């Protein structure tokens, strides 16, 4: 808290706005867009790696949040009898428990992955700076402590190390696909059940935390099943004969995901079951349904464009 109080003392309106913009790089929307763009348009195996790293780290993060149940910095300060202010523009996105930092975990997963992918040294440096700045922004804004940020980074890096190694091992060997899918599904269901147990035993009092865990569980389930289906039955190519088609893919794919995210809630309201279903639908759409549609469309409009993205002529 002493470091946060130091940052509180040097805030200025200009830097408040700068770090509020930087912190947006840790939003789930940014991570989702990056994963989809790489998975659909750039490098499918790399998209798999980011996706698994992101969803696995997110599940671990939600489990840690409800296990340790650490309050936000301003709540801690209030309980200890002193005043601590945050940058108000950051309050709306700073809900739930503080430890670990979700924004930092998202940024660490995405930008470290990009640092590995890019070949140019300056691009690698920019990516590392990006997630470090997101972590610093969370502290500058007053919504996370250094411990929250460090563990958020550690979760992101751990996910990348594990799944980069694992995906490289199985890229040309599909014999372990069922095991990996089942393992990811069991972890996802386990986090959801754990949150429900914590709520029923009174360890957590706000149903919001159960919703957060179940959203992460639904996303993990949909991605794992979609990954398996795409690997076994679809095997689409990211390439297209025209660049404009890639832009169309991103627009249509993300648009479809947003629609699927809203439909169950509009029909049945926002319940735990609805949240699991809608997040599961979104990630399954991204990992399997939309790639299947892309493959079929490409076969119709460009039948001589083969699986490897090259002209058959």
Instruction: Please determine, for residue 312, whether its predicted confidence score (pLDDT) is greater than 70.
Output: no
Contact between 232 and 226 under an 8 Å Cβ cutoff? The reply is no
Q: What is the per-residue pLDDT across 235-255, written as a single tens digit (0 to 9) for each?
A: 999 988 889 999 999 999 999
> Average pLDDT, stretch 291-302?
88
Total Cβ atoms within 10 A of residue 38: 23
Q: What is the average pLDDT value for the chain, to the nearest integer?
A: 91
pTM: 0.90
Q: What is the per-residue pLDDT across 192-226, written as a single tens digit (0 to 9) for each?
A: 999 999 999 999 988 999 999 999 999 999 999 99
Contact between 215 and 275 under an 8 Å Cβ cutoff? The reply is yes
H helices present in 141-236, as ranges: 146-170, 177-200, 207-229
**pLDDT value at residue 303:** 65
Instruction: Please determine, for residue 9, whether its predicted confidence score (pLDDT) is greater than 60.
Output: yes
Q: What percent of the chain has pLDDT over 90?
A: 71
Please indicate whether residue 252 or residue 92 has the higher confidence score (pLDDT).
Answer: 252
Among candidates 58, 258, 63, 22, which has minimal Cα distance to 159?
58
Q: What is the per-residue pLDDT across 144-167, written as a single tens digit (0 to 9) for each?
A: 999 999 999 999 999 999 999 999
The rounded distance, in Å, linking the Cα atoms of 111 and 107 is: 6
**pLDDT value at residue 263:** 86
Instruction: Please determine, for residue 264, whether its predicted confidence score (pLDDT) is greater than 90.
Output: no
> Average pLDDT, stretch 66-73?
92
**pLDDT value at residue 127:** 95
Instruction: Please determine, for residue 300, whether its predicted confidence score (pLDDT) is greater than 80.
Output: yes
């Amino acid at each position: 808290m002493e470091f946060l109080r130091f940052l509180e003392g040097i805030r200025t309106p200009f830097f408040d706005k700068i770090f509020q913009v930087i912190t947006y790089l840790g939003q789930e929307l940014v991570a989702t867009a990056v994963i989809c763009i790489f998975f659909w348009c750039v490098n499918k195996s790399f998209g798999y790696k980011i996706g698994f790293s992101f969803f696995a780290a997110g599940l671990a993060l939600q489990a840690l949040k409800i296990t340790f149940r650490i309050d936000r910095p301003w709540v801690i300060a209030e309980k200890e009898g002193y005043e601590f202010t945050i940058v108000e523009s950051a309050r709306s996105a700073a809900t739930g428990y503080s430890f670990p930092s979700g924004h930092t975990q998202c940024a660490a997963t995405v930008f470290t992955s990009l640092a590995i992918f890019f070949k140019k040294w300056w691009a690698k440096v920019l990516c590392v700076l990006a997630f470090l700045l997101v972590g610093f922004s969370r502290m500058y804004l007053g919504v996370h402590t250094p411990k929250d940020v460090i563990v958020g980074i550690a979760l992101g890096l751990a996910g990348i190390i594990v799944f980069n190694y694992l995906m490289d091992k199985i890229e040309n060997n599909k014999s372990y696909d069922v095991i990996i899918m089942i393992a990811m599904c069991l972890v996802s269901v386990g986090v959801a059940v754990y949150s429900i147990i914590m709520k029923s035993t009174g360890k957590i009092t706000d149903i919001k935390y159960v919703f957060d865990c179940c959203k992460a569980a639904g996303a993990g389930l949909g991605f794992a099943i979609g990954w398996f289906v795409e690997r076994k039955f679809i095997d689409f190519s990211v390439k297209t004969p025209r660049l404009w088609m890639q832009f169309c893919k991103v627009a249509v794919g993300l648009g479809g995901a947003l629609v699927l995210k809203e439909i169950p809630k509009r029909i049945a309201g926002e319940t735990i079951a609805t949240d699991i279903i809608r997040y599961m639908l979104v990630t399954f759409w991204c990992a399997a349904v939309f790639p299947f549609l892309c493959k079929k469309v490409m076969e119709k409009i460009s039948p001589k464009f083969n699986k490897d993205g090259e002209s058959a002529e």
